[in-house]
Structure 1
Amino acid sequence: MVETTAIRECNAPFASEQHAGLVCVFAGATSGIGASTLERMALMLHAPTFYVLGRSAARFASQHAKLESLNPSCKVVFLEAEVSLLSNVDSVCNQITAAEQKVDYLYMTERTTIEKSMHDEDIGLEQRWSPLAVVNHTTTMTSLALEHFAANDKQITFLHAFPGWVRTDIFARRTAPVSSGVAWRVTLAAIRGLVTVVMLIFGMSAEDSGERQAFHLTSDRYSPGAWRISPKSDQISAPGVLEKYRERGWPERVWEHTLRVFDKALAIGSDSVLN
């Protein structure tokens, strides 16, 4: 376990080293852990450029002003995009690559948990879809995909960090769809209340979590390769579910599946345009 005091002691020297001109892309940094990480990085870098992807420039305006007040030397570029839409992702990527020669840090908030076994025979969850299965598959497939990336590019560090319980408003903002029945509305309210209590008792603050994520991004303890990081900033190396997937070639298989999904989605999109 890396104590919070040790994290701060590591981040402080990095900030004093005046790392200048770094380009950072943040997808999912308009609230919660991502916002705290972005603010901490703004304090640790000299004359950085931050590209922030989000749905509303208007809602980001106050945070934009705060970042510039924290570090007057930073350049903040907000790119309005719904990153769940591939066309939006293509658009912002084209804008960034047109303006920059390289990206030093890419930070994405995905809200995953720890790796779990998947439905191996139904990797796309076409037969066994459920919210829990989606989370489990997304988490495990992300770790496997990052291992595939790392095997094919020896110069990049890929981190999959699970932040643990963090006191944010992510659950408080969850509301039942209009079409939901009374039972589900009551159940969701009870879940929100329970999670709020658990977070208050066991969760770390968003500021402390942001400090840790900034440490993960800037620390030289993570060399090029694929790393899985625990809520306490330790490397997760104990035997788990990934070993059986590695032995059967799943890192490459997961990426091949992902490309097929992309191809299918893009083909449907092309047909829609033609029609």
Structure 2
Amino acid sequence: MKTLQFQLTEDNRVTLTAYLIEDSREMTNWAKRPAVLVLPGGGYSYTSDREADPVALSYLAQGFHAFVLRYSTAEHGQFPAPFIDASRAMSLIRKQADEWHLDPDRLAVCGFSAGGHLAASLGTMWNDPKLIEAAGIEAGENKPNALILGYPVITCGDDTAGHLNNMWKIAMGDQPSEQMQRQLSCELHAGAHTPPAFIFHTYMDNVVPVENALLFAQALAKHDVPFELHIYPNGVHGFSLANEITSTGRGSMVDRDAAQWLTMSSSWLWRLFNMYEQPEQADLERAKLL
């Protein structure tokens, strides 16, 4: 494994960490690997360690290159700053695709909670001309090929009360306009351009209501965008891998059923990216090394 880190802002507050599987003569199936960009949650006030490296390394073990983006938060977290960070990270990954033996057309984004909102925003607004210009990238460089959304915040609708108040205050400012509220409601921007999604949530989540996941799935279905949706009966908000590795010491953070989302999403990606069939070109390229 090779680990690299990139500073995406001059003040070093936005970083992209890359976990790359190095080539081996003993593993010759793929000349180029798929990848997952992880966007941790944290209510746009910080980025959670529990939803960062542990998740990336878990995807690495499933055969994916993995990346963690520490995007703009707190006083820097107002939209579109995090969106620009994510767009630039996607652009950087694609520009390095050849050097990193990465398939630029098999690049998924995995986000949790507020990071799920950022991932869903990227999936629904990657083609917005004004946002592309603000990010300073070429059109399409920030397009995810798949979305993995863990207990995501989706809407600014009825769910702006309670635990989400502070998040929306950071994302939209003290006096958000109706236009801003609509722009940050991801379900309103889903369309045929939105990539397929794997969504998981829990019924008992009392921070981000499960209706958020259902609302996004409904929007995808309306536009005939494929998705896989899992609603687990148990599990508190922010359970991450739902195992002892990411547990905070509370038993409710560990749930054997919810913990299956990682392997299930990996299998979903493998199917979506048609990776169960070994590419003939990859076999030919690898055979030259043997």
- Interval containing the TM-score (normalised by the shorter chain): 0.3 to 0.5
TM-score calculated relative to the size of structure 2: 0.35
- Over alpha carbons, which structure has the higher Rg? 1
TM-score calculated relative to the size of structure 1: 0.37
Looking at secondary structure, tell me which structure has more strand per residue: 2
Looking at secondary structure, tell me which structure has more helix per residue: 1
Greater RCO between the two (CA within 8 Å, min separation 6)? Answer: 1
